């Protein structure tokens, strides 16, 4: 799978041990709430960027370039996180950068979820060759570094928002597909499904009534973990110069731009990088906590 993706390892057995007692379950709930609050805050920051950011994120001031974090720069403005190589305000760009991360992240999770769920249900429902083909595709995808394919595809289509969303989304379909496929297989072995089908029941209804409710919590857990993955993957691609076009700020792009100045103007890379790290940490951890809370069976996989 693509690089540096926070795949979750089976969670702490300690958590399991204690989760039987309600005290720790309550604590986990609180942690999940805290994670959700963080994401909500981040979302508010992204949405309210035009009002929150002290400066226009693309406004340059060459005379004040590479200014260290200061409250009074050469251009007479405050740049609490400094300016970049074109004199743009790092704080404002970091705030605006959350937009790209979240937008691409959520959209990619949707794409991955839809494709993965669709293929998973198809594989489980049709079985036979369909199943073999889909599962072999899943194997194939896991068998080589996705980021190579991503670079290739972006080279074909050019870096743009839809391309990024689709590429990143497709990098994560396998997990959803596996869960839904096994759920469908479980259901198919039950007789009532055959009965419904015999009575002329429609497949979408079966999916909606019998499959989705059973896997919803699992899907939420996967989606949360995938969100962290997607955000990191977007930043990685931007870092490699394959992300959103300038001057739109994105965290990965800022880290890349600041790399040449790491020695003299570390703030260009480090501030957006730290926010990226924090986001990845909190979101992926929230996924783990959610799993502990919602779906203790998943951890034994």
Partner 1 sequence: MSGLTRRELLKAAGVAGAAAALPSALAGPAGAQGTQKRELVVAQGGDISKFDPHFSTSANDIRISFNLFDNLIARHPDGKLQPSLATDWKLTNPTTWTFKLRHGVKWHNGDPFSSADVKYSFERTWDPKQNTRVSTVFTTVDKVEAPDASTVVFTTKKPDPLLAARVAFYGGQIVPKKYLEAVGNDTFNAKPVGTGPVRFVSWTKDDKIVLEANPDYFGGRPDFDRFVMRAVPEMAPRVAGLLKGETDIITQLPPDQGERVNGNPSTRVAGALYAGLYVLAVNSKVPPLDNPLVKQALSLAVDRDLIVKELWRGRGIAPSGPIAKGDNHFDTSLPALKYDPKEARERLKKSGYKGEDIVIETTAAYMANDKPMAEAIVAMWRDIGVNGKVEVVEYSVRAQKNRDKSFKGLWWSDPTSTLSDPDGMFWRLLSPGGPQDYWRHARFDELGEAARFSVDEKFRGQAYKEMTRIFLEHLPWIPVIQPYEDYGLQKHLEWTPNPNQQFEIRRFAFKFRRA
Partner 2 sequence: MRALVTFLAARLARALVAVWLVSTVVFVVMRLSGDPVPLLLPPDAPRSEFARVARELGTDRPLPVQYAVFLGHVAQGDFGRSIHFREPAMRVALEYLPATAQLGLTAFVFAVLVAVPAGVVSAVRRNTVVDQVAMGVALVGQSAPTFFLGILFILTLSLRAGLLPTSGRGDWTHIVLPALTLGAFAMASIARLTRSALLEVLRQDYVRTARAKGLREWRVVAKHAFRNAAIPVLTITGLQFGQLFSNTLVTETVFAWPGMGRLAIQSIYNRDYPVVQCVVFLSAVLFVALNFLIELVYGFLDPRIRPR
Binding mask 242-281 for partner 2 (x = CB under 8 A): ----------x--x---x--xx--x--xx--x--xx--xx
Query: Per CB under 8 A, does 11 bind partner 2?
Result: yes
Q: In the complex, what is the shortest distance from the CB of residue 271 to partner 2, in angstroms, rounded to a whole number?
A: 12
Helical axes 146-157 vs 161-170, angle rounded to 10°: 150
20 exposure class (CB count in 10 Å sphere: 0-12, 13-18, 19+): exposed
Single residue of 24, 137, 187, 212 touching partner 2 by CB under 8 A: 137
User: In this structure, how many other beta carbons lie within 10 angstroms of the beta carbon of residue 46?
Assistant: 18
Query: Per CB under 8 A, does 212 bind partner 2?
Result: no
Helical axes 212-239 vs 90-126, angle rounded to 10°: 140
Cα separation of 234 and 236, whole Å?
5
Q: What are phi and psi of 76, to 5 degrees?
A: 75, 10
Q: In the complex, what is the shortest distance from the CB of residue 214 to partner 2, in angstroms, rounded to a whole number?
A: 24
Q: Residue 12 binds which one of partner 1, partner 2, none, with CB within 5 to 8 A depending on kind?
A: partner 2
Query: CA separation (Å) from 186 to 8, 189, 214?
Result: 25, 5, 11
Quick one: 172 or 243, whose CB is closer to partner 1? 243
Single residue of 81, 102, 108, 235 touching partner 2 by CB under 8 A: 235
Structural contact between residues 151 and 94, judged by C-beta atoms closer than 8 angstroms? no
Structural contact between residues 16 and 296, judged by C-beta atoms closer than 8 angstroms? yes
Q: What distance lies between CA 220 and its chain's CA centroid?
A: 12
Residues 51-80 close enough to bind partner 2 by CB under 8 A: none
Query: Per CB under 8 A, does 277 bind partner 1?
Result: no
Binding mask 150-179 for partner 1 (x = CB under 8 A): -----x---x--------------------
Binding mask 37-76 for partner 1 (x = CB under 8 A): ---------------------xxx-xx-xx----------
Residues within the interface to partner 1 (CB under 8 A) = 58-60, 62-63, 65-66, 85-86, 155, 159, 241, 245-247, 259-264
């Amino acid at each position: 799978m693509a690089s540096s993706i926070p795949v979750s390892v089976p969670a702490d057995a300690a958590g399991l041990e204690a989760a039987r007692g309600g005290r720790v379950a309550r604590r986990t709930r609180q942690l999940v709430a805290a994670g959700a609050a963080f994401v909500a805050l981040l979302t508010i920051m992204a949405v309210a960027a035009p009002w929150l950011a002290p400066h226009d994120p693309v406004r340059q001031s060459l005379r004040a370039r590479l200014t260290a974090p200061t409250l009074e720069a050469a251009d007479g403005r405050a740049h609490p996180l400094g300016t970049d190589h074109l004199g743009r305000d790092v704080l404002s760009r970091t705030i605006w950068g959350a937009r790209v991360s979240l937008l691409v992240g959520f959209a990619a999770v949707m794409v991955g979820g839809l494709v993965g769920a669709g293929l998973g249900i198809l594989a489980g429902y049709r079985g036979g060759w369909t199943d073999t083909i889909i599962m072999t595709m899943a194997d194939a995808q896991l068998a080589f570094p996705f980021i190579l394919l991503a670079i290739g595809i972006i080279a074909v289509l050019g870096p743009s928002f839809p391309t990024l969303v689709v590429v990143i989304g497709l990098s994560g379909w396998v997990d959803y597909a596996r869960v839904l496929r096994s759920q469908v297989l479980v259901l198919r072995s039950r007789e009532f499904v055959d009965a419904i089908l015999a009575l002329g029941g429609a497949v979408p209804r079966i999916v909606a009534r019998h499959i989705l409710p059973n896997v919803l919590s699992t899907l939420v857990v996967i989606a949360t973990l995938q969100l962290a993955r997607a955000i990191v993957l977007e930043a990685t691609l931007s870092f490699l110069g394959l992300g959103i076009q300038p001057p739109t700020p994105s965290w990965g792009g800022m880290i890349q731009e600041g790399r040449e100045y790491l020695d003299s103007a570390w703030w260009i890379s480090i501030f957006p990088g730290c926010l990226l790290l924090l986001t990845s940490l909190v979101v992926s951890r929230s996924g783990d906590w959610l799993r502990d809370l919602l779906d203790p069976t998943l951890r034994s996989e």
